[in-house]
Each structure stands twice: as C-alpha cells, then as structure tokens.
A and B are shown apart, each in its own frame.
Chain A
Amino acid sequence: MPKSLTPPLRKLKDEIEGHAKEFGLDFFDTRFEVVSYDELNMVAAYGGFPTRYPHWRWGMEYEQLSKGYEYGLSKIYELVINNDPCYAYLLESNSDVDQKLVMAHVYGHCDFFKNNFSFRHTNRRMIDDMANHATRVRRWVDKIGVEKVEDFIDRTLSLENLIDQHAPHIRRNPDPRRAEDEMKSNERVEGFKVDREYMRGFINPSEFLDSQRKRVEDEKQKAKKFPERPQRDVLQFLLENAPLEPWEADILAIIRDEAYYFAPQGQTKIMNEGWASYWHSTIMTRRALKDDEVIDYADRHSGTMGTRPGSLNPYKLGIELWRDIEDRWNKGRFGKEWDECDDLRARRSWDKKLGQGREKIFEVRKHYNDITFIDTFLTAEFALEQKLFVYGFNDKRNSWEILDREFRKVKNKLLQQLTNFGQPIIEVVDGNHENRGELLMAHKHDGQDLKSDYARETLRNVQSLWRRPACIITRYDNKGVLLRFDGQNHTEKKIDL
C-alpha cells in the first residue's frame, strides 16, 4: 500500500517545494505517496485513480505496463492527478536525484493544473467522484449482473471520445423537454370557424384545408427534427434521447463525466509536459542539484527529451517552445518591428534586453491550449532549428517517409493533429432520420478517412444504445458514404455531398 513520505523524502520535498514557490509557481497543496513498481503500474493503469470502477481494460493496461517494464521498454517516472489537493506518486526504488527531479516536475504540473484556463472547470474533487463512480458501478453490478454491466461499459467506452472536446466545460442541464411543442403540433386543422354548416365548403374550401394541414404537418416535421443544430456532444444527446434504462443512463453519465475530466489533459499535453519539464530543469540546474548528481540528472533528463524521427515527443517540443518564448521575450524578438525585419544579421544579433521572458511564459501558461499555443508561438525559425517535418505513408514503397519540411505544412499538420484531440469530429445531425427514428451522425471530413472496420464496430455500439438503426455520413476516397447499422446488418450507400 502507498506509504507516506519517509523523513529524508519529506526533507527533499520541502526543499523542492520551497524552490518552486520561490520561482513563482502557484499550486494546490501537493501530496506525494511512495509506491512500489507494481503499485505505480496499477495506479497508472487506472489513469491515476486507484479507486476507479472495475473494468477489464485497466487489467489490460496493467498487463501492458508491467510487460513494458519487464522487457525494459518503458518506465513510468511521474504520475500526477489534477485534484485539490494534487496527488503524485514517487517510486520507492528511485534514487534521491530522481525523486527531486520528479518532485520538481510534479510542481510544474500542479501549477499548470491550477492556472491554465482549460482546467478551470475540471472537477477538483475527482478523487472522491471517481470513488463514487466506482460505488455506483458496483451497485449496478450487484443488481444487474456483472456481464450485463461490463458489456454496457464496453459499448459506452467505444463512444467516449464523442464529446464536445473543446467545449469549455461539461454541460449538465438538458434542454427542456419537448412535451409542450408536442402538444401544440397535435392541434387538428379545422379551418376558420363556421357558424352555418352549409357555408363550410365556401369558407373552408378543401384546397385551403389541405394546404393548412400540410403546413401543420410540415411544422410537425420540423419540430420533430432534433437536434435543431448539429450536436457535438453525442454522449449528451444519447443520454437525453436514447431509451436507456436508469442503470444504463447512470453508467453513460459516468463515462461522460470522466471523459470531460480527462479532455483538458489531452488538449494541453505539449504545453503541460513542456511546462513541467521546463520547471524540473530550471529547479534542478539552478538550485537543487548537488555536484555528484549532475551525471545522473543529465542522463535522466536527456532520456525524457529523446526524440525519434517518426513521432513527436511532447516533453521535448514543449520545453523547447517554452524556452524559445522566454528567450524571444527576453530579447524583444516579437512585434511589428521584428516581424518586418528581414536583415538576417540584425535578426541574429537582436537583443533589446527587455527581460520579459519569465513574465511572458507565466502569462502564456494561463491562457493557451496546445492549438493556440502552437498557432501563436511556433515560428519558422523554431521549426527549422528543431528539425520538424511532416511524414506520411508511402503506399508504393510500403513505408513511412519524410514528406515535407516546409514550415507552413509542418504547422498545419501539427494543428490538424491537435484539433479535436486528433480525433474525427462527429456530430448528431438528426435523431429522427427519414422520419423513422433513426439516428444520423455526420463526420466532418477534413481530408482523412475514418478507419472503416472501427467505424462499423462503433456504429454497432451506437445502435445498441439508440435501439434503432444508426447511420453516419462520411467520406471514403472522396466519395460520400452513408454507413448504416440496423441491429442486424451493415449497409453502405453512396450519397452526394
């Protein structure tokens, strides 16, 4: 079981915390727990929350983490939970220098959690809520049976990314029910009031009545078209409109809650890891490092910052960007004058000795997420210096290759990767498709096709919640396609977009 800090670790913690505060980091109270490797793998498998609801996929994560460790492929160094107080884990077998590095890194994260705008609406008592979720799930398991509950969770998890990723925070209040509209549209068409029965044919000629009926019918249709606007939060839509049993709705709500809780971490991965790395390196090299620890520290630090050509290390990209921003604002390399200067020599020696770097990065860590961060601060010089490139798959050679080093393309690709979490944007467009109660979703195609076997399987899960046929409009090879699953069969229809 997790242990609290030993006196020597407590001393280290106080020291590092002091440095962090001195540098102006601002964080919730931070609690460290000391765990063994097995325990760390477990906690990581649960996404940081050892009290999470029971499910086999944590077991799968655990298997993979433990295997990765056994084979020496990976080792988890730090694990922090966005909560008030913040919780973080220390590996009991780590050396002092590792512990200091992890602590310094953790304070960076905690500061980020507390101050970055994306986290403002996250649940800071998530530890408690996760435990409550687990209790609720267990209760349903006792009542409904483990097989049914697990099966439902599996299907729901398949949809967990169908939330409004960039919504500022989770919306809880459902739109008012449509009962009233329903009442209104059920009025019968009588035409004008008729006092004398023989006049009826003249006052309300049948063409007129027919047209009136048609109008009401049309309105009814329109009213039935819901949602009125496409809805990005598919989970919310299902929660409000799918014929779910109470236990199903409860579990769906839990999955949705947790998805929203984790969303900001996905949206700020580069900033957040970069920020924590910036601070561990600053605190360690300026304050905490003893002479005999330098080699070990450098080894660990460079291990974290290592890059491989075909992937982007958020730690590395992040820390370099933060340093670049700090440097530019220290030297005044921004603004109109800088942008318009095309004298290479002048640019190289440009230093206005503004010294605003530190202040700037603190401000940036508050108001940006990865997309706006990259969009605003990734410069052509930086991309060149960091040797960024776009890669893609070459079908003819059956291999990955470097496609382009042009700045615009690199930046666009990066932004595209970050938009919506690097996931397809999917909306509910019609909950009464074809007037048959079918669910119609649309994939906002941005040049990348959906992985088709996964799309079918997922559609199957949507259908099972909606209990009527589920469809999605997407594109394959630039042609519009409507995928439909009716509970038995998958069909595919070409459509014009």
Chain B
Amino acid sequence: MAVSSLELEGKPRKKRRVLSKRQQKLRANLVAYSFIAPNFLGFAVFTLGPIIFAFALAFMHWDGSNPIEFAGLDNFFELFRDRPFQAAFWNTIVYTLFSVPLTMACSLGLAMLLNKKLFGRNFFRAAMFFPYVASLVAAAVVWNMLFNPEMGPVNMILYTMGVDPKNLPGWAADKDWAMVTIILFGIWKQAGYFMVIYLAGLQGVNRELYEAADLDGANAWQKFWNVTLPQLAPTTFFVSVMLTINSFKVFDQVYMITQGGPGTSTLVLVYHIYNEAFISWDLGYSSMVALVLFVLVLAVTLVQFRYSRSLD
C-alpha cells in the first residue's frame, strides 16, 4: 500500500511536471502571439485578406453592387483589346526606363558631393531631402505654375536666354513634353531620399582601397569608377529595386500634374487601375490590370536579384 501510494503520489507529480513544462511552453507561445496579435489582426484583415481577394477578383466580373460572376480569362483577353491599357503599360515602362537611371545618377551625385567635409553639410543634406517629405499636392501645384507654358517662370527664363518662343516647351500641356515633366518632377521629389541611402552606403567603402589607388596614381574619375562604384554595388542594387518598384507604382504626380493626358501620353498603370475601378466600376477588370502590375514588379525584382547575385 505504502509503495503504491508513493507511486500514486509520484506519478501525478511527475505528470504534473511534464504538463507544466508543456504549459510553460504553451504560455510562452501565447505570450509571443499576444505581442503579434494587435498588429497581425489588422494586417491580416486589411492587407493580407484584400491581397487574396484581389487575385480572385481578377477572374470575376463585378461592378461592386450586382452579384459577382465568374469570368474565367475574360478580363485577361480584354487586356489585348484595351488600347488605353496598352498605352498605360508602355508609358509605365518608358517612365521607369528614364526615371530609374536618372534618379540613381542624381542621388549618387548628390551623395558624393555631400559626403565631403563641407561647412553646413547637414543643412544641405536636409535641403535636398525636403522635397521628399513635402506635400505632393502642394509641390505639384507650384510645379504646375513654375512650368506653366505661357507665363511660368521656367519658360520666361528660357525665353530671356534666347529660346525662340515657338520652340518653348509646352510642359504638362504638350503630349511630347508631358512625360518629361512627370519624370523631372519625380527626380526632384525622390533624389534626396536615395541620396541618404547612398550616403549610408558610402560610409561602408573601404578607405584603404583609396590609399592603394592613390599609390597607383589613379585620378579622381578612375577612383570613382574602380573603387567607389564597385564598393557601392549592394547599395545600388537596393536603390534600383526600390526605384523600379516606385516607378511602376507612379500615380499621385500624374494625377496632380497631367491627369494622364494630354490624350493618353502620361496614362500609367495605376492611373488605369484607378479609372477602371472608381470611375468605370469594372472591379474585376481593374484587378486584372493590378495583377499585371504585380507580375511586372515581381518579375523585375527577381531579375534584379538574380543579376545582383551574379555580381558577387
């Protein structure tokens, strides 16, 4: 009896200890999940859910109020008949092809300049950065006024510099210049942000390599080309991915400056998505265009990742 009672006493205790270990683990997990829950619930409902919904919607017909109908690949084939979509697609590509390298060059240039020991360097850095944080609506209004074809100061200056009035650019109002205007605005707005990232990258450049280059008698340009640029490759990669994603998503500045016009000269993918969804209420089709945008972003990101790996 005594033995068995001991056994009985011992067993539950042992069992309790096992359980309590499990309970402890469960408790630790619950604590961890409780940390994540506030953010994750919001994130799951308002971001993850809609993302899954977006992919499904691309294969549906829906105007937002009548019942949803399955569309199969209808929306996909519609892409090939939709002229504005094609214009938007190519405009987005053109915007990206010009805006990404130009913004990169400007940001790197600014970073090289402001990496030097200059009096008031922090002020200059903040000044370059400010367009990025300023309200886009406000900035675009000023931009529209400065680049007004008839009375804007920019054309006035060009005129006083001797440009024939007939050859003055029409900026946002001219279909040949509208995209240029959008690209210039984008560079001005974003260059400061990527300058900061390049400045951080420059901190990581190995000083000794410059000394070695000095010993070899390299000039400034050779040092930039053979030391700085290769050392900055990871930063450049990051900047190029971010800029490409940004330029595929360009919308606000188009909406504020040209509304996609004149004609379809500055219509871009997001603008088309917006029109199809909130103007035409063709939600299925607009999700299909969004799917194209997503595939484009994904493809470019993967290519850039592959390319960066081949650099190493």
Q: Do A and B bind each other?
A: no
